[in-house]
Amino acid sequence: MVEPGREGQNSGGDVEAQLRAEINELRRKLEQQHPQAAHGSKRPSAGVLWGLAFAAVAIVLVAFFAGYLPQSERQTALAKEAKDDSAALPLVNIVPVERSSAKSNLVLSGDIQAVTEAPVLARASGYIATRSADIGDHVKQGQLLAEITAPELGQQVSQAKASRDQASSALEQAMSTLEGGKKNAEMARVTAERWNSLVKKGAVARQDAETYQSQSDYLRANVQSLEKAINAARSNMAAADANLARLSEMQGYLKVRAPFDGVITLRNIDTGALVTEGQTLLFRIAQTDRLRIFVNVPQSDAAAVHVGQEAGVKIASLPSQVFKGTVTRTANALDPATRTLLAEVQVSNGPGLLLPGMYGQVNFTTPRAEPPLIIRGDTLVVRADGPQVAVVGDGNIVHYQRVELGRDYGDRVEVTGGLEAGQNLVINPGDAVRDNAKVKPVLLARNAR
């Protein structure tokens, strides 16, 4: 392929070669007609010289008109085309402003926790005699986890039994004394009545009758005192029974059992370890068949999250698994420090893939009554006076418009103010796309990114 500008030069060279060939042919004919002039004389004739000069001038002229002039015209045409291209309108790709989906996906992070988790502490002081559970064991409610030996507790139980026996004996003695006092009081009452009858008949002195009456009153008061003593003895008996029951119940705590079905997540003791009542942590047990995740919902989406709403839970270590959860409760109030709503999502853990302490992502699908506008991220221009977009209006005139942004999805951005649905925006506006400039727009397909 001949390069531009060299086509004329090649044609000029062909003409020159043709002229040289004609000159050589003319010289050969002259030599044939005048052989002596050609060989006998070393100096050519004047006609030959003029012919050669004419041929050289012809060659130069042909080369000028065949090479330089076409090249000059071609350069002039290229310059004109470049000038026309520089004066043409800039070509830009545009996309329309659209409404976002009526449903929004809200993704929040949270820590996975067990629904029920409790520490198991020692309720009796002593030494660990046996340990029958370890970390990671699945246990049932009431299952034996460890056994504590406490000789001092056994001695306290024996002492409490002895105190109870003493209180029981004291009660029985008080009741016997009360029976004797009641009989003496009854006898004194009968005697006093008889002497009062004899006084009325004048058979005995009034003073003797009053003496028996006083004795009867004293014995009646003694009966009341004995009844109060019996009440005190009964109270002592009840106190002894309560103390014995407490210590007996403490003996029951020597066998540590699981409070509910779950998994042992912590073991803090071993055989022979000394434990103190109410202070030593023995185990920690958690229910893992159902887990919960606490998430903080922003104020803008707080009204869209409600009890009973479904949610999807994803774990980074299990990318192919989506666990279905349900919102079980919300705080019904925003945290004034973070302006967020605390919500609890419970998820079933039947396969046992989820573990308490994991980090998860909770995806809420929330409906929106008024979906905001959405634009492509490459149409946004961030300047010192705020985010802007290049809007192609009537007559294909570009106008830069400031916008208010909402949620950022990466390749797309929600717009809460400054635009209307259906307006056309320039994709990746360059330096040629200036304010109030006229452009040649090309509508980009929706599936193009």
Give 213-252 pLDDT, tens digit per residue: 888 888 888 888 888 888 888 888 888 888 888 888 888 8
Instruction: Residue 108: count other Cβ atoms within 10 Å of its Cβ.
Output: 21
Residue 133 reports pLDDT greater than 50: yes
pLDDT the model gives residue 134 = 93
pLDDT at 21 over 80: no
Tell which wins on pLDDT, 148 or 406.
Answer: 148
Q: Taking the C-alpha atoms of 73, 78, 84 and 86 in order, what is their torsion angle to the nearest 10 degrees?
A: -140
**Burial class, 29, CB count within 10 angstroms (exposed 0-12 / middle 13-18 / buried 19+):** exposed
Where is 261: in which H helix or E strand? none
CA–CA gap between residue 78 and residue 72 (Å, rounded): 10
373-374-380 Cα angle (round to 5): 120
Predicted pLDDT at 296: 93
Contact 427, 411 (CB under 8 A): no
Q: Which two tokens stand for residue 26?
A: 């003319």
Residue 38: pLDDT above 50? no
Is the pTM higher than 0.95? The answer reads: no
Helix axes 69-87, 7-33, angle to 10 degrees: 170
- CB–CB of 7/70 below 8 Å? yes
Beta-bridged to residue 291, according to DSSP, are 114, 347
Phi, psi of 66 (to 5 degrees): -85, -25
pLDDT band with cut points at 50, 70 and 90 for residue 34: low
The region of weakest confidence among 192-206, 261-275, 384-398, 409-423 is 192-206
- Of the pLDDT bands very low, low, confident and very high (cuts 50, 70, 90), residue 62 is low
How high does pLDDT run on average in the chain? Answer: 81
